[in-house]
């Protein structure tokens, strides 16, 4: 590997690490705020329409997971233990590919994978509001 390639890889690694750290710290700060105040961000979609969006209950699910209660998390929003972990793993994969190769395009399998997850989320949204 050439020196310029190594330097580019290190710059991408630092950028991804910095962004990841900021997201994690923001999430932890929000969880601490909720824990201390009992206040969270309400779902605008639910306030406007009266229907639950696919993400409704995700904050409660995350707090349940922080407290080691996966059954409660699943009851609050089943996507918290199904789709969200898959998206986190996929995000880690994309970060690693970007760090190693600087590639930002999507391969065919990635488009299919994300499309399937999108369909699952849409079906979940429809079913949770119809049943």
Q: What is the pLDDT of residues 17-43, one digit of tens each?
A: 999 999 999 999 999 999 999 999 999
Q: What is the pTM of this model?
A: 0.88
Q: Give Cα 45 distance to the centre of its chain.
A: 19
Output 79 or 2, whichever has higher pLDDT.
79
Alpha-carbon gap, residue 60 to 10, rounded angstroms: 37
Q: Residues 80, 58: contact at Cβ < 8 Å? A: yes
The C-alpha atoms of residue 76 and residue 65 are separated, in whole angstroms, by 11
pLDDT band of 49, cuts 50, 70, 90: very high
Can you read off the two tokens belonging to residue 2? 């050439």
């Amino acid at each position: 590997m050439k020196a310029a390639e190594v330097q580019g890889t290190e710059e991408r690694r630092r950028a991804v690490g910095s962004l990841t750290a900021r997201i994690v710290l923001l999430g932890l700060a929000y969880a601490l705020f909720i824990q201390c105040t009992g206040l969270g961000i309400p779902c605008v979609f639910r306030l406007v329409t009266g229907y639950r969006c696919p993400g409704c209950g995700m904050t409660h699910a995350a707090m349940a997971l922080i407290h080691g209660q996966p059954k409660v998390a699943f009851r609050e929003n089943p996507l918290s233990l199904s789709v969200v972990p898959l998206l986190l793993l996929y995000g880690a994969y994309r970060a690693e590919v970007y760090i190693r190769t600087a590639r930002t395009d999507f391969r065919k399998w990635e488009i299919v994978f994300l499309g399937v997850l999108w369909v699952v989320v849409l079906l979940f949204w429809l079913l949770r509001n119809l049943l």
